[in-house]
Amino acid sequence: MKPWLKKTLFGIFGATLLLGGLSACTHGSHAGWSEDRVTEVRSKVVDRISSQLDLNDAQKQKLAVLADEIMAQRTAFRGQGADPRADFKALIAGDKFDRSRAQTLLEQKTQAVQGNAPKVIAALADFYDSLNPEQQKQVRDKLEQRHGGWGRG
């Protein structure tokens, strides 16, 4: 894979993970975000990206599919109703770190990522491939501005 394409795909994937991160509040009572709020923020992010790239309707639909897949990936990774803090507390509840439980959690998370990642990658590829060359250049330029040299000078 060409370095610029790899960088672009990882950059878009990272940006879409941000969108997935916004959905993190659906399970966290400490954040106080309702499902409606998450949906609203997802919609605003999709609208902002659509506006910045001047997407047509077909491209917007592919972006929406990508956002849905990322949110599904996040839910699968996190687990339905799971509380990551409770999981971690259980690991350190005794006088020794529960290594076997930690390994089990790691395996569960890895399986969730591996099981859903192909759908996320396919949605990301479909979206990126639907962009015209100018839009793709905008994405690459944006990534270069934000991550050029890892922010070091």
Q: Is the pLDDT of residue 22 over 60?
A: no
Residue pLDDT, tens place only, 42-60: 888 889 999 999 999 999 9
Q: Is the pLDDT of residue 9 over 90?
A: no
Residue pLDDT, tens place only, 66-97: 999 988 887 787 776 567 788 888 889 989 99
Higher pLDDT, 22 or 128: 128
pLDDT band at residue 141, thresholds of 50, 70 and 90? confident
Q: Is the pLDDT of residue 121 over 50?
A: yes
Across 118-132, average pLDDT: 93
Residue among 79, 85, 82, 72 nearest 19 (CA): 72
pTM over 0.95: no
Domain boundaries, the chain: 3-144
Higher pLDDT, 10 or 45: 45
Contact 8, 140 (CB under 8 A): yes
| Residues 137, 50: Cα–Cα separation, whole Å | 15
Across 28-32, average pLDDT: 44
Amino acid of residue 124? L
User: Residue 120 CB: number of other CB atoms within 10 A?
Assistant: 21
